[in-house]
Structure 1
């Protein structure tokens, strides 16, 4: 079953999101996807994945120099 993970990030620009594309694409499998909502005040990253854990996404964005925290429902 696909899980939707939602994160608050410090990504502000499309250029920053573009720099993260290879990082996020590397984490994805077939039929999984991600996108940023940079218009939202929390600079949302939304990930639809089958097995990816939130901690992995957070670690990868932190490693790339960005703040990332999972938003709870």
Structure 2
């Protein structure tokens, strides 16, 4: 692998695309870390209403509704 990097003049920057940019270009919905933290807070809030640690949100649509 290292010899290929030297042979083809590749760097870690040239071979590591921006994942969010790649997902957006392919029109793939994704969640960021901040989105996940908001979902986690909402699951804990919903769980507390039922005397539980959390109430899992089970669909991507529910995730998106809460971010």
Q: If the TM-score is normalised by the length of the shorter chain, which range does it land in?
A: under 0.3
Higher relative contact order (CA 8 A, sep 6+): 1
Bigger Cα Rg? 2
TM-score for both structures, normalised by structure 1: 0.26
Give the TM-score, by structure 2 length: 0.27
Higher helix share: 2
